[in-house]
Amino acid sequence: MDFISQLPYYVSLIFTSVLPFLIVLTIVVFFHELGHFMVARYYGVKVTDFSIGFGKEIYGFYDKHGTRWRFAWLPLGGYVKFVDDDNAASVPDADAAAKLSPEDQNGSFHSKPLSHRAAVVAAGPIANFILAIVIFGGIYTFVGETISEPRIGAVVADSVAEKAGFKEGDLIKSIDGAAIDSFSDMQRIVSVNANTQLSFVIDRNDRELILPFTPRKQKIKDRFGNDIDIALLQVQRFIEPSIGAVVKGSVADKAGFHDSDRILRIGDTPIHSFNTMQRIVSESPGKLLTFLVLREGKDISLTVTPASAEITDSSGTKKTIGRLGVHSPRGNLKKKYNPVMAVWKGTKETYFIVDQTLSYLGKIIVGRESADQLGGPIRIAQISSQAASVGILPLINLIAVLSVSIGLINLFPIPMLDGGHLLFYMFEAIKGKPLSERTREYGFRIGLALVLMLMIFATLNDLIHIKVL
């Protein structure tokens, strides 16, 4: 009876956690293996199996070419197996190859020219990158990109940004020579450059200044309550000093504020951004404030006492702040692009993920970064569930990001991975003949050990991350 009573919970868990994970991983793995499969078919290689997942088959069928398309019970990857392969890692089986019929020998993968084999192996990661570019390009075309001016609306008091000299109203022009087109561009560059000095070019009152700044990591909670370490500039996005909407029944509503009122002054303080108005109100719970607002071309004076509200800040400290009861104006714009420009921006986004991933791994190797951000299947499942809870678009975006990651990881020169096969082919091209069977066997054993150790490490990281360990 206890299981029956808990049945709705388990059904909900499957749909909110397991299903999004399976959808994300299946799509990414399918396109990776499809890349191998299509190029293999193009070069006349006979494919015996196309598998999503490992282990015992759940469901499968044969196509007209004799390939078994199968879904297996362990959905943590997939493989394409050729007629002369010994296993799913495409290790050649010399004995089996010798027993092949003349027709099958013609379709043997390992008898194909080196260039053909390399193309088949590289096609998997390339398919992942293409998938990501298409997804990002589709988002830029049909949904658009959120654009907000890279101008600072407020600087957090006593922050490293304030000590570095940043001020309200500064317009970020470039960071280390990279042009900054939106506030999110600036945030993203800062977030992945902890403890790295960056050179900011800013426009301050029509004067160009250069400010060196070294972001520091902070532990914060994301919207789902996860603890994450991220580098922050500790500034707020500039918002025009206008009221987007007045909350009905709020102190602002009772004081006579209207939607679209532009705040000119609070007391004797000129107001140049919504952020400044917000800060003054926050610091004035229960205090009478006099606002000068511009409404339909006329200056109007309004008095209001901000309501008191208790909040808990990021450090866990409770404090009382003032609340007016107004919403900021919509400062973000959605910009859509034509398909050509969208694909170009999708390519840039894909390159950015590759570049930052390699940079992060390089910093781990030299000891400048911790490896605690490396995640495995459990973390992917958690993120998939959280993305799905927000909507279909974040889940689609996650598929693109994960596709880039899977493509990049598979290019690492580790035997068992695609990059390991390409490494062997490089030696074959240099020597003029394949490496010996014994060398390849030892290589694959080492590669398997490395992959297993990485999976164990990532899984332990996942368990620590979700506070199981």
CATH number assigned to the domain with residue range 245-326, chosen from the 4 options 2.40.50.140, 3.40.462.10, 3.30.750.24, 2.30.42.10: 2.30.42.10
Judge whether 415 and 383 are in contact, CB under 8 Å.
Answer: no
Question: CA-to-CA distance for 167 and 151, rounded, in angstroms?
Answer: 10
Strand 269-270 relative to strand 262-266, pairing: antiparallel
Catalytic residues: 33
Question: CA-to-CA distance for 212 and 233, rounded, in angstroms?
Answer: 12
Tell me the sheet residues that pair with 174: 179, 201
> What is the CATH code for 152-237?
2.30.42.10
pLDDT in tens, the chain (469 residues): 454 555 454 445 455 667 888 899 999 999 999 999 999 999 999 999 999 999 999 999 999 999 999 999 988 889 999 987 766 666 666 666 666 677 777 888 988 999 999 999 999 999 999 999 999 999 999 999 888 889 998 888 888 899 999 998 899 999 999 899 889 889 888 988 888 899 999 999 999 999 999 988 877 776 666 667 788 888 988 888 999 999 999 999 999 999 999 999 999 999 988 988 999 999 999 999 999 999 999 999 999 999 999 887 656 678 899 999 999 887 667 889 999 999 999 999 999 999 988 988 888 888 777 777 777 777 777 788 888 878 899 999 999 999 999 999 999 999 889 999 999 999 999 999 988 888 888 888 898 898 888 888 888 877 776 665 5
Question: CA-to-CA distance for 458 and 371, rounded, in angstroms?
Answer: 9
Give domain limits for the chain: 152-237, 245-326
Tell me the sheet residues that pair with 79: 51
Question: CA-to-CA distance for 382 and 99, rounded, in angstroms?
Answer: 47
CA distances (Å), origin 377, targets 24, 218, 349, 414: 11, 25, 24, 20
